[in-house]
Amino acid sequence: MPQKIVARTLAAVTLIATALLACSAPAASPRAPAAQQASVGSGSPKTLNVVLVGEPRVLSIWQESTTGGVINIHEMLSNGLVALDDKSEPVPRLAASVPHVDDGSWKLNPDGTMEITFHLRRNAVWHDGTPVTAADVVFSAEAQIDPAVDVYPVHQGLAKGLDHAVAADDHTVVMYWSKPYAFADAMSVWDFAPLPAHLMQAVYERDRAEFNRLPYWADESAFIGTGPFRLTRWERGAQMQFDAFDRYYLGQPKLDRILVDIVQDNTTAQARVLAGDVDAAWGVDWDRESMDLVRSRGIGDFQMGTEGTNHLAFQFKDVAVPAELAHDVRLRRALAHALDRQAINQVDEDGESAVANSWVPTNDPRYPDVESAIRTYPFDPRAALALFEEAGLIKGPDGPLRNRDGELFTCAVRAQLGKRSGDLTVDSWRAVGVAAQIETRPAAAERSLEYRANFPCVEESYRGMGRITIQHLHSNNAMTPERRYLGSNRGAYMNPALDAEIDGFFATIRRSDRVNRERAILRIVTEELPIITTIYAVRKDFQRKGVTGNMIKTGFDIINAHTWNIHEWAKS
DSSP for 250-317, please give it: T---S-SEEEEEEESSHHHHHHHHHTT--SEEES----HHHHHHHHHTTSEEEEEEEEEEEEEEEP-S
In angstroms, the CA 106 to CA 98 distance is 10
The confidence band for 8, taking pLDDT boundaries of 50, 70 and 90, is very low
Helix axes 266-274, 288-296, angle to 10 degrees: 20
**Fold: same for 2-70+227-299+545-571 and 82-199:** no
pLDDT number for residue 539: 81
User: How many CB atoms within 10 Å of residue 24?
Assistant: 12
The kind and range of the H/E element at 20 are helix 2-22
Mean pLDDT across the stretch 409-424?
89
| pLDDT 10s digits, 318-329 | 999 999 999 999
pLDDT band per the 50, 70, 90 thresholds, residue 31: very low
pLDDT digits 0-9 by tens, 342-395:
999 998 888 888 999 999 988 888 899 999 999 999 999 999 999 999 999 998
**Does the domain made of 2-70+227-299+545-571 have the CATH classification 3.40.190.10?**
yes
Give me the pLDDT at residue 65, please.
67
Q: Is the model's pTM score more than 0.75?
A: yes
Q: What CATH homologous superfamily does 82-199 map to? A: Dipeptide-binding Protein; Domain 1 (3.90.76.10)
**In angstroms, what CA-CA distances link 553 with 353, 358, 434?**
16, 20, 39
Highest average pLDDT, of 137-151, 301-315, 325-339, 433-447, comes from 325-339
Domain at 307-537: CATH architecture: Roll (3.10)
Phi, psi of 325 (to 5 degrees): -60, -35
Task: Flag whether pLDDT at 34 surpasses 80.
Answer: no
8 Å CB contact between 472 and 463: yes
φ/ψ of residue 354, rounded to 5: -150, 155
Using one digit for the tens of pLDDT, what is the confidence trace for 519-533?
Answer: 999 999 999 999 999
Q: What is the pLDDT of residue 472?
A: 87
Domain ranges, ordered by start, for the chain: 2-70+227-299+545-571, 82-199, 307-537
